[in-house]
Amino acid sequence: MPRVNMTFNFGAPTKAGLCLLVLALLSGAACAPGAEAPAAPAIASVHKHQCGRCHTPPPPGQHARPYLEEALAPHHKRVHLSDEEWAQLIDYLAANRTSASGGRTSGS
Protein backbone atom coordinates (compact mmCIF):
# COMPACT_ATOMS: atom_id res chain seq x y z
CA MET A 1 0.00 0.00 0.00
CA PRO A 2 1.45 3.45 -0.92
CA ARG A 3 2.29 5.81 1.85
CA VAL A 4 0.19 9.04 1.97
CA ASN A 5 1.81 12.29 3.02
CA MET A 6 -0.51 13.95 5.59
CA THR A 7 1.59 17.08 6.14
CA PHE A 8 -0.38 20.31 6.17
CA ASN A 9 1.23 23.60 5.34
CA PHE A 10 -0.51 26.48 7.05
CA GLY A 11 2.30 28.96 6.47
CA ALA A 12 3.17 31.84 8.75
CA PRO A 13 0.40 33.32 10.89
CA THR A 14 -1.17 36.38 9.35
CA LYS A 15 -2.28 39.55 11.12
CA ALA A 16 -5.88 38.75 10.28
CA GLY A 17 -5.54 35.27 11.75
CA LEU A 18 -4.00 36.61 14.93
CA CYS A 19 -6.70 39.26 15.23
CA LEU A 20 -9.40 36.63 14.89
CA LEU A 21 -7.76 34.49 17.56
CA VAL A 22 -7.50 37.43 19.97
CA LEU A 23 -11.13 38.41 19.29
CA ALA A 24 -12.32 34.86 19.92
CA LEU A 25 -10.44 34.70 23.21
CA LEU A 26 -11.70 38.08 24.37
CA SER A 27 -15.32 37.32 23.50
CA GLY A 28 -15.12 34.11 25.48
CA ALA A 29 -13.74 35.99 28.49
CA ALA A 30 -16.62 38.47 28.32
CA CYS A 31 -19.12 35.62 28.58
CA ALA A 32 -17.28 33.81 31.36
CA PRO A 33 -19.36 32.62 34.34
CA GLY A 34 -17.55 35.12 36.58
CA ALA A 35 -19.10 38.06 34.73
CA GLU A 36 -22.07 39.27 36.76
CA ALA A 37 -25.25 40.92 35.52
CA PRO A 38 -26.17 44.30 36.98
CA ALA A 39 -27.76 43.98 40.41
CA ALA A 40 -31.55 44.19 40.57
CA PRO A 41 -33.00 47.02 42.66
CA ALA A 42 -33.87 46.15 46.27
CA ILE A 43 -37.57 46.55 45.49
CA ALA A 44 -37.31 43.58 43.09
CA SER A 45 -36.90 41.29 46.10
CA VAL A 46 -39.94 42.85 47.79
CA HIS A 47 -41.89 42.39 44.55
CA LYS A 48 -40.92 38.75 44.28
CA HIS A 49 -41.64 37.82 47.89
CA GLN A 50 -44.59 40.05 48.81
CA CYS A 51 -46.52 39.75 45.55
CA GLY A 52 -45.64 36.08 45.21
CA ARG A 53 -47.35 35.13 48.46
CA CYS A 54 -50.82 35.14 46.93
CA HIS A 55 -50.32 35.12 43.15
CA THR A 56 -47.75 35.12 40.40
CA PRO A 57 -46.12 38.57 40.42
CA PRO A 58 -46.62 40.56 37.21
CA PRO A 59 -43.35 41.06 35.34
CA PRO A 60 -41.92 44.58 35.15
CA GLY A 61 -43.00 46.50 32.07
CA GLN A 62 -46.22 44.54 31.50
CA HIS A 63 -48.60 47.29 32.65
CA ALA A 64 -48.64 51.09 32.43
CA ARG A 65 -48.31 53.25 35.54
CA PRO A 66 -52.00 54.34 35.76
CA TYR A 67 -53.15 50.73 35.59
CA LEU A 68 -50.66 49.70 38.28
CA GLU A 69 -51.66 52.53 40.61
CA GLU A 70 -55.30 51.50 40.37
CA ALA A 71 -54.67 47.75 40.58
CA LEU A 72 -52.31 48.01 43.57
CA ALA A 73 -54.48 50.40 45.61
CA PRO A 74 -56.47 47.59 47.32
CA HIS A 75 -53.21 45.85 48.25
CA HIS A 76 -52.16 48.74 50.50
CA LYS A 77 -54.39 47.35 53.28
CA ARG A 78 -52.87 43.85 53.19
CA VAL A 79 -49.26 44.48 52.21
CA HIS A 80 -47.49 46.68 54.72
CA LEU A 81 -45.04 48.79 52.72
CA SER A 82 -44.04 52.39 53.29
CA ASP A 83 -45.26 55.06 50.87
CA GLU A 84 -41.72 55.20 49.49
CA GLU A 85 -41.69 51.41 48.91
CA TRP A 86 -45.04 51.58 47.11
CA ALA A 87 -43.66 54.34 44.86
CA GLN A 88 -40.52 52.29 44.18
CA LEU A 89 -42.63 49.22 43.41
CA ILE A 90 -44.76 51.10 40.90
CA ASP A 91 -41.63 52.65 39.34
CA TYR A 92 -40.08 49.18 39.11
CA LEU A 93 -43.18 47.57 37.57
CA ALA A 94 -43.76 50.45 35.11
CA ALA A 95 -40.09 50.51 34.04
CA ASN A 96 -39.40 50.22 30.30
CA ARG A 97 -43.08 50.75 29.58
CA THR A 98 -43.52 52.96 26.52
CA SER A 99 -47.31 52.89 26.22
CA ALA A 100 -49.24 55.68 27.91
CA SER A 101 -52.57 53.92 27.42
CA GLY A 102 -52.94 53.12 31.10
CA GLY A 103 -54.54 49.77 30.39
CA ARG A 104 -53.31 46.26 30.07
CA THR A 105 -51.11 45.25 27.22
CA SER A 106 -52.47 42.91 24.60
CA GLY A 107 -52.66 39.35 25.82
CA SER A 108 -53.03 40.36 29.48
Domain parsing of the chain, residue ranges: 42-94
Orientation angle between helical segments 83-94 and 65-72, nearest 10 degrees: 140
The percentage of the chain sitting over the pLDDT mark of 90, rounded to a whole number, equals 29
Would you give per-residue pLDDT tens digits along the chain (108 residues)?
666 555 555 555 667 666 666 666 666 655 556 555 566 788 998 888 888 888 888 899 999 999 999 999 999 998 889 999 999 999 999 987 654 544 444 444
Longest dimension (CA), the chain: 90
pLDDT at residue number 102: 47
Closest listed residue to residue 60, CA positions, set 36, 85, 41, 75 = 41
CA–chain centroid gap for 103, Å, is 24
pLDDT at residue number 17: 66
pTM (two decimals):
0.55
CA distance 13 to 16: 8
